[in-house]
Amino acid sequence: MRKAFISPSKYVQGENELLNLGYFIRTYGDSALLIAHPEDVERVKDKLDVTINKFNVTLVESGFHGECTRDEIKRLKELAREKKCSCTIGLGGGKAIDTAKCVAEGDALIIVPTIAATDAPTSHSAVIYTEEGAFEDYAYFKQSPSVVMIDTTVIANAPTRFLVSGMGDALSTYYEARATSRSFTKVNAGLPCGVHEGAAPVARGTKAALALAKLCYETLLEDGVNAKIACDSNQVTPALENIIETNILLSGLGFESGGLAAAHAIHNGLTVLPGTHHYFHGEKVAFSTIAQLVLENAPQAELNEVLEFCSAIGLPVCLADIGVNSITQEELLKVAQIACIPEESIHAMPFPITEEAVASAIAVADQIGREFKKSKGAL
């Protein structure tokens, strides 16, 4: 059986770690193309100035347009060549990070997230959008980022909602990796550069990936509540440090090398409902994880544990929590139809999938969440 595991060459996190950015630039040369939204640059400008002077490096600001499009990628590649940049830095949220991945194409890439809202920073893939902001394609590169560097002080001073959303994304990691392992489904770690998924040789997940995914879930339960409190107070504590590592590293390695299943597919289906558009990826994944547990008829104790965790940190447990106050059977089936398209990860579940079963799981998960909130006096 062919197995695969992929990870960044180096992951480092710590308080004021941005002050060491110049050190990592120096491992490649003396200049870097900085791909970042101007607001993110402004948030950390003092630290960038210090590291530039300390390590005598140059940051070439790119004037990033804010969207990962083919034209923007082409423009930034030309700028990097023109300025003879030694490496590429993606600083900020998902769009800047994905654009940096596309510009670097797997070489000399430093990723610096300023929020811990998703597990994308460690992966070797990116999402490309149209100029209008619609999904266009996935891109896969020959390796994961060279360096993923996290300044925990920056994360602590970002809005707590980002951290909580990251925990929602991380919440699905173990359950999806477990399903993928049971069904012997292929994982993204096996996808080579420049080859679309359908043409790639199949690789299964490793025991290491499943173990990391389980640790991801265990750390959420252990440190999630206290990490949220710390972020509310803009303080770096051991609990917050553990959750930052969980949201970014453990979840990132877990999803890419362990596999995705129903939760992320259901999330993708939910995006057709206009009410969900104002909610973060991880918030929708949290509810979708509950739907996956219903779909696979998970033990009641497991379902209750997830509901209690979501309630404790403020993650959604029902559709109303992600902007859907009512839903018709027709809408449920539309969500399920999108979640069940042939290329979706839902087919990693270790049993046959039907659109009707998925629609029913979403409806029941919603009702379970509503009844849970009612029992807590939240409705």
Q: Residue 358 domain-assigned? A: yes
Q: Residue 225 domain-assigned? A: yes
Which pLDDT score is estimated for 160?
98
| 227 in the same domain as 147 | no
| 205 in the same domain as 143 | no
Q: Residue 300 domain-assigned? A: yes
| 58 in the same domain as 135 | yes
pLDDT in tens, 104-149: 999 999 999 999 998 999 999 998 988 887 778 889 999 999 999 9
| 181 in the same domain as 112 | no
| 189 in the same domain as 118 | no
| 196 in the same domain as 225 | yes
Q: Residue 340 domain-assigned? A: yes
Which pLDDT score is estimated for 260?
96
Please report, for the domain that includes residue 305, its CATH number: 1.20.1090.10
| 105 in the same domain as 174 | no
Which pLDDT score is estimated for 371?
97
Is 129 annotated to bind a ligand? Reply is yes
| 218 in the same domain as 123 | no
| 149 in the same domain as 196 | no
Cβ of 284: how many Cβ atoms within 10 Å? 28
Residues ≥6 apart with Cβ < 8 Å to 367 = 318
Catalytic residue among 151, 267, 321, 366: 267
3-class DSSP state of 151:
strand
Please report, for the domain that includes residue 99, its CATH number: 3.40.50.1970
- The pTM of this model reads 0.94
Q: Select from 156, 180, 200 the last residue of a domain.
A: 156
| 101 in the same domain as 176 | no
Is 98 annotated to bind a ligand? Reply is yes
Is 186 annotated to bind a ligand? Reply is no
pLDDT in tens, 305-348: 999 999 999 999 999 999 999 999 999 999 999 999 999 999 99
Q: What are phi and psi of 59, to 5 degrees?
A: -105, 120
Q: How many domains does the chain have?
A: 2
Q: Select from 92, 125, 156 the last residue of a domain.
A: 156
Q: Select from 156, 177, 199 the last residue of a domain.
A: 156
Q: Residue 200 domain-assigned? A: yes
Question: Is 347 annotated in the active site?
Answer: no
Question: Is 37 annotated in the active site?
Answer: no
Cβ atoms of 89 and 121 closer than 8 Å: no
Which pLDDT score is estimated for 192?
61
| 346 in the same domain as 358 | yes
Is 248 annotated to bind a ligand? Reply is no
Question: Is 196 annotated in the active site?
Answer: no
CA pair distance 300, 289, nearest whole angstrom: 14
Is 95 annotated to bind a ligand? Reply is yes
Beta strands 125-129 and 135-140, pairing class: antiparallel
Q: Residue 31 domain-assigned? A: yes
Which pLDDT score is estimated for 200?
58
Q: Residue 59 domain-assigned? A: yes
Low-confidence spans in the chain with pLDDT less than 50: 195
CA pair distance 296, 352, nearest whole angstrom: 11
| 258 in the same domain as 361 | yes
Beta strands 87-92 and 109-113, pairing class: parallel
* Range(s) of the domain holding residue 17: 10-156
Q: Residue 3 domain-assigned? A: no
Question: Is 264 annotated in the active site?
Answer: yes
Is 23 annotated to bind a ligand? Reply is no
Catalytic residue among 40, 124, 223, 281: 281
Catalytic residue among 169, 223, 321, 366: 169
pLDDT in tens, 274-295: 999 999 999 999 999 999 999 9
